[in-house]
Structure 1
Amino acid sequence: MSQKLRWGIIGLGNIAHHFVKDLALVKDASISAVASRSMDKAKAFAEEYNVHFAFDSYNDLLESQEVDVVYIATPHTFHSELAILAMTHKKHVLCEKPMGVNAEEVKKMISASQENGVFLMEALWSRFNPSIVKVKDLIDQGEIGPLAYIHADFAFYALDRDLKGRVLNPKLGGGSLLDIGIYPIFLSYLLLGKPKSILSTSHFHSNGAEVQTSMIFKYPKAQAILYSGFTSKSEMKAEISGEKGSIFIPTRWHEAQGFSMARNNEQEEFSLPTTGRGYFHEINEVHQCIANGKLESDLWSHRNSLDLIELLDTVRKQNQIIFPFEE
């Protein structure tokens, strides 16, 4: 392996553009190859970001000896198959969230990582956001006391989107829950672990896609009120309250640049801007883990990804959210 980790990107939608810009900020990273089902799209992306290799075959990228680690940014339904294929080619993998569409897929992906001795991590970038890291540290240190209440939402209007696109297409695992509901669920899980029980309810588009879900996660001494939706906007703020104080993460909390903590009638402000868009931090974690010979991250482990998808599976089961390819 060369001194720099050589990245390949599979799936060249909007998120890949944000990712590659942050990749350029990581000193020991280089972008070596990109792949799309469209050669025109692959060539245009490669030209824009000065990437040497452009492929219209995912398999050709995975067979390339110029790629050490692969970032998978395709629609959800392709994550598991492509990640496992990459790992059988001995490539390390950073896979967009959700890592798989259900627990069965995630278990197979984890097994492939262990069997092939390569690193695998779900690209849950908020876990590595400096503000989220600091919030968890403060809570773990007891700064606001035992937690009693969490509120987190994530919503935007998307009912005008193309029904064949990934957002509203059940055949592509579309719906609000896997796309954005994963964020509020992640925050509750990160801070309180797996709940004792879950209450949830969903609304659906005429094409069968889930477009609105409300959830209550019940813990022994706390509750989390969580929401995701495509039917309207929401403030997208997060509130975390304990017996001694509260933490407030402002609008678009999942990519926070800071937060406030209120205790004893006083409010303390924390400014923790991300490097780049924020993908820098998860990329840096991948590099550190690979350099240390790890197969998984301590901050977001294989177990964490499996727990998260199991929570999503529970909400889906309660609301009979079944994708056509699962029937």
Structure 2
Amino acid sequence: MAKNIHIGIIGLGAIGERLIKSFETRDDIVVSAFCDTSETRLKEMAEAFNVINLFTDYNELLRFTEIDAVYVAVPPKFHEEIVLASIKAGKHILCEKPLANSVEEANRMLAAVQKTTLVHAMHFPLNYQASLQQFEKMVNDGYIGELRRINLKMHFPHWPRLWQQSDWVAGREQGGYVLEVGVHWIQAIQRIFGPVSEVRSKLQSPEDPSLCENGIIAEMKLANGVSVLIDGLSNIGGEEQLEFAAYGTKGTILLRNWRQLLVAKSGEELTELAVKEDSSLDLISEFAKAVHGQQAELYDFSDGYNAQIVLEALRHPQHDDWQKLI
């Protein structure tokens, strides 16, 4: 029987708390230590999850010999320094998305971890979601025919979302929905449909230079020439809308608000399909398999790096024309 995996959590924000709850459901994973710069948050989470090893300095957590792996759930601009220190300490790593706050940072992180045998995984939960798995299977089974276009719509009446109020999520330096939400779909697009080769992006931003984008109109091209259109708006009237659609010569498949799956053959109206939930595949289980040396379905730092290249082209357009990525 494989020994338990002892994991340390670095960063105790809203997303970090969600995954802690997932770790807690497993018999083979022990949440052994917490690290956060806020002593108030440390105390609150320690009481909630009965964790006694508490640190305000991640280096102290990394010196804690009981720890086998770390979950890095701090804001993006701190990922590189913590991940590089974790690699040096010989800890397996689960890192929040996006991988970093720049392509250069992401490249250094990827290069460092590839010199080791450590498990390095990204928190890309969309890949394990039944709705996207069913979407992908229908595409691969030929439901839409030949791909003509992909559309991604991201509309938010509030940004940051009401459950995610944080200065850095609202900030231009390392926040915004292109980065926080778009990264999931960019990674999924590249995994299912192939690499993005070109990007043309126009951002709309508030007058306050510290605040993130409130609009984006962008087009990406896949290596095969198919266009991906991005329509993003925030701080608007209406309800939150997330739509990811693949249009083909024979039909359309659309994911709405992450989990609702709608389909139509050409010329017909969209109808909703029941999503067949499958609990056999999830990120935490696959991460545990990999740490135990077993074959696992993980999305690693190379996937994070490839998404980062596209993200930075969308977030920081150099001009109004196409930016070639590959």
TM-score (norm 2): 0.84
Q: Within 5 Å, give how 1:5-20 maps onto structure 2.
A: 5-20=5-20
Q: 1:243 to 1:78 in 2, by over 3 A?
A: same
Match of 1:291 in 2: 292
CA distance in 1, matches of 2:304, 2:194: 12
Distance 1:8 1:2, change over 3 A: farther
Q: Secondary structure at the match of 2:139?
A: helix
Q: Which amino acid in the other structure matches residue 204 of structure 2?
A: H
For the pair 1:24 / 2:24, whether they are aligned, the reply is yes
Query: C-alpha deviations, 1:94-113, integer Å up to 9, x for none?
Result: 11110111221111111221
Q: Please, which moves more after superposition, 29-38 or 134-143? A: 134-143
| C-alpha distance in 1 between matches for 2:160 and 2:76 | 19
User: 1:306 is aligned with what amino acid?
Assistant: Y
Is the 1:35–1:58 contact (alpha carbons within 8 Å) kept by the matching residues of 2? yes
Determine if contact 2:171/2:212 at 8 Å carries over to the other structure. no
Task: Show structure 1 runs of 5+ residues with no match.
Answer: 321-327
Distance (Å, rounded) in 2 between the aligned partners of 1:129 and 1:120: 20
Of stretches 283-292 and 28-37 in structure 1, the one that deviates more from structure 2 is: 283-292
Q: How does 1:56-205 map to 2 (within 5 A)?
A: 56-156=56-156, 157-158=158-159, 165-171=167-173, 173-205=174-206
Structure 1 segments, 4+ long, off by >4 Å, are: 159-164, 264-268
Cα distance in 2, alignment partners of residues 163 and 174 from structure 1: 11
Deviations 1:172-224 (A, max 9, x none): x1233222222332343233222342221101122323312221112445221
Whether 1:225 aligns to 2:226 is no
Number of aligned positions between the proteins: 310
> 1:210 aligns to what SS in structure 2?
coil
Q: Does 1:245 align with 2:244?
A: no
Q: What is the rounded CA distance, in whole Å, between the counterparts of 1:67 and 1:160 in structure 2?
A: 33
Distance 1:160 1:290, change over 3 A: closer
Q: Given the superposition, is the C-alpha separation of residues 244 and 313 from structure 1 closer, same or farther in structure 2, using an over 3 Å criterion?
A: same
Say which is worse superposed, 240-249 or 182-191, in terms of deviation.
182-191
Q: Secondary structure at the match of 1:144?
A: coil
Contact 1:184 1:227 in 2 (8 A): no
**How many angstroms does 1:165 deviate by?**
1.0
> Which amino acid is the alignment partner of residue 88 of structure 2?
T
Q: Tell me: CA distance 1:304–1:163, structure 2 relative to 1, closer, same or farther (3 Å).
A: closer
The match for 2:299 is 300
Alignment CA distance shift 1:174-1:190 (3 Å): same
Q: For residue 263 of structure 1, what is the aligned residue in structure 2?
A: 265
CA distance in 2: counterparts of 1:133 and 1:26, whole angstroms: 23
Asked whether the equivalents of residues 90 and 118 of structure 2 are also in contact (C-alpha less than 8 Å), the reply is yes
Q: What letter is aligned with 1:167?
A: V
Preserved contact between residue 220 and residue 229 of structure 2 (Cα < 8 Å): yes
Displacement after TM superposition at 1:163 (Å): 10
Mean Cα deviation higher: 221-230 or 112-121: 221-230
Aligned-pair CA distance for 1:234: 4.2
Mean CA deviation greater in 63-72 or 204-213? 204-213
Structure 2 unaligned blocks of 5 or more:
320-326
Question: What SS does the corresponding residue of 2:299 show, helix, strand or coil?
Answer: coil
Task: Please tell me whether residue 314 in structure 1 is matched to residue 306 in structure 2.
Answer: no
Alpha-carbon offset, residue 7 of structure 1: 1.5
Query: How many angstroms apart in 1 are the aligned matches of 2:285 and 2:244?
Result: 25
Report the secondary structure of 1:271's partner residue. coil
2:234 and 2:33 map into 1 onto residues whose CA distance is: 34
Q: Which residue of 2 aligns with 1:323?
A: none
Taking a change above 3 Å as real, the CA distance of residues 285 and 184 of structure 1, as seen in their structure-2 partners, is same
For residue 213 of structure 1, what is the amino acid of its counterpart? I
Counterpart contact for 2:203–2:216, Cα < 8 Å: yes
Local SS of the residue matching 1:292: coil
The whole-number CA distance in structure 1 between the counterparts of 2:118 and 2:294 is 9
Q: Distance in 2 between matches of 1:160 and 1:125?
A: 19
Report the RMSD for the aligned CA atoms in angstroms.
2.9
State the alpha-carbon separation in 1 of the partners of residues 160 and 119 from structure 2: 37
Q: Match for 1:308: what amino acid?
A: A
Change (3 A) 1:274 1:23: farther
The one-letter amino acid of 1:215's match is A
Query: AA paired with 1:198?
Result: V
Any conservation in 2 of the 1:97–1:122 contact (CA below 8 Å)? yes
CA distance in 2, matches of 1:38, 1:91: 23
